[in-house]
Structures are given as structure tokens and as C-alpha cells.
Amino acid sequence: MTALTKKIIYSCVGILVAYSLLGFFLVPFIIEKQIAKQVQSKLGVEPRIGELSFNPYTFELTLSDFKIPAKQTGADIRDRLLLKKFYVNLTVYPLLKKEIRLRGVELDSAEGQFIVFKDGSINWALTPAPEPEEPEPEGNTEWILTLQNVKIANSTLDVRDYTHEIPLALPLGPLSLTATNISTSLGSQTSLKSLSIAVGEKGHLNISGSLKMKPLSAHVDLDVKSFPMDFLTAYLSDRTLLSLRTGAFDLDGKIKYEQGALSFDGNSTVHDFSLLQQNVEEPVLSWQTLGLRTISAATKPMKLSINEVRLDKFKTAIILRKDGTLNYRSFLKNPAAAPTAANTISATTAQEPDKNSSAFSYLISKVVFTDGVIDFADQQIRPNFAAKVHGFSGTLGPLSEDLTQKIKTDLSGKVEAFGKFKGDGYLIPGTKKPSLDFKANFHNIELTTFTPYAGRFAGYEINQGKMFLDINYTLVNNRIRGQNRVMLDQFTLGDKVKSENSTNWPVKLGLALMKDRKGQIKFQLPVEGDVNSPSFSLGNLVWTALKNMVINIVAAPFDFIASLVGGGKDLQFILFEPGTPILLKTEEEKIQKVAQALQERPQLAVEIQGKYEQQDIEALQQIEINKMLDKKGDRSKAIRSLAKDLLPKDELKTFYKDYAAAHGEDESGLASALEKKLLATVVIPEDQLKALALSRGNVVMSLLAKNNINTERAYLLAGSKGDTEKPPQVTLSLKER
């Protein structure tokens, strides 16, 4: 071996030793110092580096037991980053082309914490870098970063946000990532083989697909299972008193992002959902599953399409509070003032859309409800009213921004233990004039449930009864019209209840008039009103119509019962021959009609009161005069003779004088005029008149009994004086038994 050869060998060995020393020892030292310097300058803390090694021959760098401590202090404040192992493998020759190419990047067992503090600052806030003193030279190209293979395993990220009333806490992990060719070069495509994040005890999120950094684009598949939703309580706490006890969602589909436009196609399910009001044990809203099928959403243009929304086994409570507002307003921390009648617009009247607003189209083809429960309570009355609707099922849709589209609905369910309801129809929201056509029937509804309302408005409890109701409501040109066909079976009022709001009309009489021999009350109740009226209320509209109907029936009860038996007028007045207890020929048929009506209305009793009228007095006077005249022979002479016996001489003389002055020598009407004067001299005793009136009552009562009306339902009143202008009669009045 020549000296030159030895020299070359020794030089190479020396260079190799120097390179190794520099690579294995000096380079790690420099890198460690640079890491510490950068962390200190950017984050304001000194990191801890357990071990840092570099292989100058393979260009592999390994960092172990690395820690970036927190700058802030607190019970929940931990180290910003704990890193068990970080590994990179650099490819050298691309550096010549201003590209940093890392053949492999591995991160193992990292623990990160991301915090947003109350003032809005974050724990990873960087210290601003000083502005460069000299501008970059022209023509200088940007460096490219390429990560050929990236792997993250067994890592976690703890996210906390203290800007909310209830702080957000969202622990994510274990987290793992496998990706290839992550690059900042134009058009380079990244393969995201798998991003998997565990959330909570059962939840996980998986993402796979392809990405581009320049220009930014993504095509990824998303698979989320049992992602817990309790972290949303933090956002709810800002404006409401609500919190999520349970709830998780599933989501699967494809996400696409290109040229600033984002789209999603897939399905989602929210299950085991339970929303509570603070310090209240019973959920405000809960459901077993809420499924959204065939979702298609996009941002450019803004649109959303869902083929079906299915809500299974939901439960909620609707409470009308003492102040007349619904319980949902109590969930808000600063609820808006309740609208007044003057500025209230019907909820069914949609507003014309703002032409300047951003276009957003949506379509929910169908909403399906199954086996829902709605607990309704009214705290405005005492005792409080409560009713439970369960087994609530049906469909609704389609729903869209097109206000001219017909929304069809088909609903059914149960009320309390045995009642049922079913309804269907449609609504066209419109822009200014919505339209509606809805039909429903309620079957076997227990009326005892409504005792609080009966006590408040009618002043009575409800002892028993069932309701069967068919309704049909239409809305055209802002006028709502309703047809209500009602049947109340065995409806019976109980004890009287003190209530400031109760009516003073005879409720029991009205019910007795309406209740048939089967114990049923059947009637139709039409309603109509202007929904744009500031005072419009459908409940008040129905109640007013019902009240007016009963008042009208009670005000003219015989007109009502006449309609039950084929008509007839003035059934309450039974006419008699003047001065006698003999019915006029037409009146017996009236009594038969009254009897027939009473058979149809077994809850009614009848009061019978005979009346004596002026015609009776005159008839009886005539009878008495006739008796006197019959004994005298010729009637004209008999009248003159009787006048001498009954009238004082001076009075009789004056009568003849006045007659002669008026009629001259014509005496053809003298006997008739004198007879009238004689009638006035006959006094009929009141006892005789009352006896006549009573005998007439007995005649009517006997005929009612003859027509199969139990006399226990008929009450004979004492005879009395009537109206001087009316014909002789018996007056009937109806009352409840």
C-alpha cells in the first residue's frame, strides 16, 4: 500500500469519524437547542426534551419524552403536549429543489390539550413574529413540504372551552392516522387511508379518502358511530337553562370540497336523546331515534334535501303557564317579551320572503312520527288541567322553502287511557294568504279529564261522560271556517264550583234540552273568524260559538224541541176556549208534540201553569148576563129591564141621553150598547178565575199523562193572571230534572 493510498484512507476515515461525530452528537445538540429556542420564542415556555437522536447516514430523527408545559395554571390545566415518540426520516436530494421531503413521519402516544380561556385567548397562542427587515428577493420560490408516509398512533386530544356558562369538555382519543403523500406542491394528491378517533366509551369517528393542499380540495368518506352529544350543553348554557343528559349520533356519507364549495351526501341518526331543564328531573324532550335518511347538502348554492326524517318514541311536555305563555319560554335565560294582541300575526300566516336574503333551498320529503308522547298541562286554571297524548304517529310533508307547496299530514294517536284521535289534511303556507283543510275525529275521550275547564268556565265539575268529535277546518283568504260535529255520551255535571270566570247561563238546562233518551248529546258547531284580527284566538272562537249555541237553545227551548219532533210553533202555549177549560181544536196535537219531545229528552221536566186572561173575564161576564136575560123573554126588552134593575137611575138616564146625542132616533144599536154597559157591572171573583186557570193546567197534565209522560216529570203550578192581550192559555216551561 502506497503512502498516498494510506493517506487517502486515513483522510476518509477521519472525515467519516468527523461526520459521525457531528451527525450523531453535534446535530442533535443543535436541533435540541433550536427546538427549545423556537418553543420559548413562540409559546413562552421552555420545553422538556427527554432524548433526541439523529442518524446522519439514514437521516432519521427520533424525539422521545417531549413535553411543552402550560403557561397558565389551574385545576384543569395540564401540559399542552406530552409526546412519547416522534420520528421523521428526511430525504436529502430534494433539498436541492427547495423541497423538504420526509419519507416517514411517526407520532406515538401524544397527549395534547387545546384550551379556549374565558377571555377568548387560547393556550396555543403564538408570539407574533417580527417583520422581516428586508423583503424576499424577487424570483424566490416557496419551499415545498412533502410527507410521504404519516402515521399517528395511541394519541389523545383534550379540547376545553371556558367561554361558555358551562365549560365545554371534549376528550378525543385514542386517535390514529395513516396517510401518504401529504404535500404543499400544486396538484399533489394526498391519500388519507384512515383517520380514527374514539370519543367517549362507545363513540368513534373514521375518515378516509383523498385530499389536495393546493388548491384545497377533499373527497372523503365519513363514518361516525355513537358520537356523544353532551358537549353541546356548553353551547346551550349560553342562552338557555337546558342541558343534555344523554344522546349520541351516527353519521355516514361522503364529503366533497372543491373551489370553496362543500357538499355532503349520506345518512344520520340521533339516538337515546334526552334534553333536561336545569334542576328538573323529567326531560323536556326525549326520543329513542331521530333518523335522517338520504341527506344531500351543499353550500354553493345553499341547499338541503332530506328524503325522510323519522322520529321514534319521542316524549315532550307542553305546559300553558299561569301568565299564559308556554313552558318553552322558561327555558331561555333572557326570553323576548310575549307578543301583544296588537302586534300578533297569526302563526299560520307566513311572511313574504326577503328578496335580498341569501338564496337557500331545502326539501324534506317526509317527516314520520311513531309512538310519541305529549303531556299537556294548563296551569292557568285551578285545579290544573292535564292530559296525556300517547301513541302519537303519522306523517308530515313535504316541507320546503316553496310556500305554495301543499304540505300533507296524516296523524293518529291516543288520549289518556282509552281515547283515540285521527286526522289528515293539508296546509299551503302561502306568502300572504295561507290555506288549510284539516279533518280529524276524536273517539271515546273521557270528559272527566276536562273537569278543570268545566269548573272554570261552566262552574260545575264533570261526573262522567265521553266525547266523540269530528272536525273539519278550512282556511281561505285569511278566514278560518270550522265544522264541529260533537257527540257527548252520558255527559253529567257534578257539584257546583266557585269560579270568577264561570258563566251565569243555565248550563244544566241547556244540557237537559240537548240530551236524548240514550243519554247522548249531539250537535253541530260551526265557527268562523279572521285570522288577521288582533284578537283572533281559535280557542275563544270555539268557546264563544259553544256558549252562544247553548244560550240560544235555553232562550228558546220550545223552538229547539219543536225541531226534534217535526216542527210546530208556540208549543209552550196551549190555547183554550175563553171562560172554559176546553181546548181549542188545534191544541191537542200540540200537547202530543210536547209529549213526544219530552220522551226524546228524559232529562227534562215540565212546569204547567194555567193563566186567566181578559177574554176569560169577558166570557164569564157574558155567561152571567146571559143567565139573567134568559129569564126575561124578549132580549132587547130584557136588556132594558135588566138595566133598570142593575144600573142607578142617574147613570141610566145619562146613558140614554148620550146615546140619543150620538145616534138620534136610530135605536137599532141601543140594546147592544146597553148590554156592554151591563157586562161591566158583573164582577167575576178572582178565586173563580184562578180555579179556571188551574183546571186548564189539569187538562194539559192529564193529556200529557195520556201520552205516556210520567206525571213525576210534570209540575202543576197554581193558576195566575196572564197578559190582558193574550188569548186564554196554559203556559209550559222546561227545567232540568
Same domain (yes/no): 503, 549: yes
Q: Are residues 449 and 468 located together in one domain of the fold?
A: yes
Q: Are strands 285-299 and 315-320 parallel, antiparallel or unpaired?
A: antiparallel
| 564 phi, psi to nearest 5 deg | -80, -25
Give a yes or no: residue 596 inside a domain.
Answer: yes
Is residue 457 assigned to a domain? yes
Q: Which of 600, 596, 458 is nearest to 515 (CA)?
A: 600
State residue 631's pLDDT score.
65
Is 111 within the bounds of a domain? no
568 and 688 part of one domain = yes
Choose among 546, 633, 616, 521: nearest CA to 577.
Answer: 616
Among 555, 575, 590, the domain boundary falls at 555
Mean pLDDT in consecutive groups of 10 residues from the start of the chain, 737 residues: 75 80 86 90 91 91 93 79 94 84 93 92 82 57 86 94 92 94 86 93 93 90 95 91 92 94 96 89 91 95 95 90 75 65 40 54 95 84 76 95 93 91 92 88 86 71 88 90 91 79 74 89 87 75 79 87 80 94 92 92 94 92 85 77 85 87 83 86 92 95 94 94 88 91
The reply to whether 521 and 614 lie within a common domain is no
Separation of alpha carbons 730 and 714, rounded Å: 13
Structural domains in the chain (count) = 2
Domain end point (choices 536, 555, 574):
555
Question: For the chain, first and last CA: distance in Å?
Answer: 141
Q: What is the pLDDT of residue 349?
A: 43
582 with 729, same domain: the answer is: yes
Residue 168 falls inside a structural domain: no
The CATH number covering residue 693 comes to 3.30.1330.60
Q: Is residue 319 part of a domain?
A: no
Q: Is 339 inside any structural domain? A: no
**560 and 541 within one domain:** no
For 201-240, give the DSSP string. Answer: TTEEEEEEEEEETBTTEEEEEEEEEEEE-GGGHHHHTTTB
Q: Is there a domain that residue 450 lies in?
A: yes
Shared domain for 464 and 611, answered yes or no, is no
Tell me the helix, strand and coil percentages in the chain, rounded to 5: 25, 45, 30
Does the global pTM surpass 0.85? no
Query: Within 10 Å of residue 204's Cβ, how many Cβ atoms?
Result: 15
CA distances from 318 to 239, 327, 377, 453 (A): 20, 7, 6, 17
Closest alpha carbon to 536 in 482, 484, 486, 468: 482
User: Which domain-ending residue is among 496, 531, 555?
Assistant: 555
CA distance 260 to 281: 45
Percent of all residues in the chain with a pLDDT value above 70, rounded to a whole number: 91
Q: What is the predicted pLDDT for the residue at 351? A: 46
Same domain? 497 vs 539: yes
**For the packed helices 507-514 and 538-555, what is the interaxial angle rounded to 10 degrees?**
80
How far is it, in rounded angstroms, from Cα 376 to Cα 415? 11
- Give tens-digit pLDDT for 46-93: 999 999 999 998 999 999 999 999 987 776 778 999 999 999 999 988
Same domain, 713 and 621: yes
d(CA 716, CA 695): 10
Residues 614 and 713 in one domain: yes
In a domain, 368, yes or no: no
Return phi, psi of residue 649, to 5°: -60, -45
What is the domain extent for residue 614? 556-626+684-737
One domain, residues 582 and 533:
no
451 shares its domain with 533: yes
- Three-state DSSP class for residue 440: strand
Q: Residue 290 has what pLDDT?
A: 96
pLDDT of 378:
76
